[in-house]
Amino acid sequence: MTSEMISNLYVFVLAGFVGFEVIRRVSPLLHTPLMALTNALDAIVVVAAIIIAGRRGTALSAILGSIAVAAAFSNMVGGFLITDRMVRMFKLSGRGRQKP
């Protein structure tokens, strides 16, 4: 057991609780955008993939890393894009609504 592992565990538990409290408040109206947004945030693994792909290493790690960069980045781009499209659709009733 390393001290790094312990400090990561602290971070994990605290972040888990923060996540729980924050996400509990998300309106069920927005559960689909929530899933799209958390997918996009989770795509932050792209930073680890970039390092694996770009640092001095074997050909294997460069290949695996590059595939991982592409997979994660597609989630980041697509996830933010579709979340934004979805949340823009939610409108209140009342004046000023126009047919597209």
Which residues in the 53-92 window bind another protein by CB under 8 A?
Answer: 53-58, 60-62, 64-92
CB 76 within 8 A of CB 36: no
Both tokens of 51, joined, read 């390092």
The distance of closest approach from Cβ of residue 78 to another protein in the complex, given in angstroms and rounded to an integer, is: 4
Alpha carbon of 16 to those of 6, 8, 11, 60, 67: distances in Å?
15, 12, 8, 33, 28
Q: Which x/- pattern over 14-43 shows residues binding another protein (rule: CB under 8 A)? A: -xx-xxx-xxxxxxxxxxxxxxxxxxxxxx
Q: Does 95 bind another protein (CB under 8 A)?
A: no
Least gap, CB of 6 to another protein (angstroms): 11
| Closest approach of another protein to the CB of residue 95, in Å | 11
Q: CA–CA separation, 34 vs 30, rounded Å? A: 6
